Structure 1
Amino acid sequence: MGLAEEISAVRGGSGHSGRLVGEFRRTALLVPLSEGDDGGLMSGWQGGVRWIYAFTDEAALARFAEARGADAKTREWEFLSILGARLVDAVIPTVEGPTGVAVDVACEGGSMLFPPVVGIVPGAYAVDAEPDRSEAV
């Protein structure tokens, strides 16, 4: 089962969170690049968290572009293809502040948020991580 199918299963109540996270980590995601000079990954803010936009395929990315008012026929969206594991293990640690991944955000009934919590992002960047007890001693 692919990531989109795992998301559907979880949203439908028959999926398993461990399989979902595993499939997310193994999937090559399409992450659009921001339009500015910074060349960074496109993201948005919600609830004090930066959400990096990622998509399971070009059709999902095109729906996102259309939802943002872009005409896919007149503008080409540049994107990076990156494994979910690399996105959370290597990219998120370079971003300032709590950062998660929003997958297929323009797909009604098919989107999923992967928040900055233990089990998804490295513990040092998880908002729910326990403070290092060795520092308190």
Structure 2
Amino acid sequence: MGLVEEIAGMRAEEGDPGRLLGEFRRAVLLAPVADGALMSGQQGGIRWIYAFTDEESLARFALRRGADATAELEYLAILGARLVDAVVPEMDGPTGVAVNVADEDGSMLFPPVGGIVPDAAAVDLAGQEDAR
């Protein structure tokens, strides 16, 4: 199964969180870029990097944001693992990844918690010493 199918399984309460995370980490995602930075939004004190599973999902996002249907949107193709392992820790403040946010029934949030992002960037592990 791919990431889209794993998201559908989770939303139907039939999915497996481990498989979902594995597919997310292996997926090549499209992250839109504006003004030289990855596009993101703020919600509940968390910055959410926008990422999409395909160009159609990215186009729906652009149209909902008021973009011209003929305009090209610049994006970076990046592995989900690279987003959470390399990009998230470099962001200021708690940061997660929002996948396919324009698809009401196909979106999924990957929050900044242990097991998804590196421990140093996980809000649920903040202030805990490394037990190793």
3-state SS of the aligned residue for 1:44?
A: strand
Over residues 77-118 of structure 1, what are the superposed CA-to-partner deviations in whole Å (9 max), with x where a residue is unaligned? 000000000000011111110000000000011000000000
Correspondence for 1:76? 72
What corresponds to 2:99 in structure 1? 103
Deviation by residue 1:15-34 (Cα, 9 ceiling, x = unmatched): 00110001000000000001
Determine the C-alpha separation between the residues in 1 that align with 2:128 and 2:74: 40
Match of 1:125 among 116, 121, 128: 121
Q: Please list every run of at least 4 consecutive aligned residues from structure 1 whose deviation after the TM superposition is greater than 2 angstroms.
A: 130-134
* Structure 2 contact 100–108 (Cα < 8 Å) conserved: yes
Secondary structure of the corresponding residue to residue 81 of structure 1: strand
Aligned partner letter, 1:40: A
TM-score normalized by structure 2?
Answer: 0.95
1:128 match: secondary structure: helix
Q: Give the C-alpha shift of residue 43 in structure 1.
A: 0.3
The counterpart of 2:61, out of the listed 60, 64, 68, is 64
TM-score w.r.t. the length of structure 1 is 0.92
Letter in 2 for 1:2: G
Offset of residue 132 of structure 1: 3.4
| Aligned position for 1:3 | 3
Residue 53, structure 1, aligned to residue 46, structure 2: no
Identical-pair percentage? 66
Distance in 1 between residues matched to 2:66 and 2:16, nearest whole Å:
35
Q: Match for 2:119: what amino acid?
A: G
| Higher gyration radius (CA) | 1
Equivalent residue in structure 1 for 2:111, among 102, 115, 118:
115
For residue 31 of structure 1, what is the aligned residue in structure 2?
Answer: 31
Structure 1: unaligned runs, 5 residues or longer: none
Structure 2: stretches of 5+ with no match in the other structure: none
Is the CA contact 2:120–2:126 (under 8 Å) kept in the aligned structure 1?
A: no
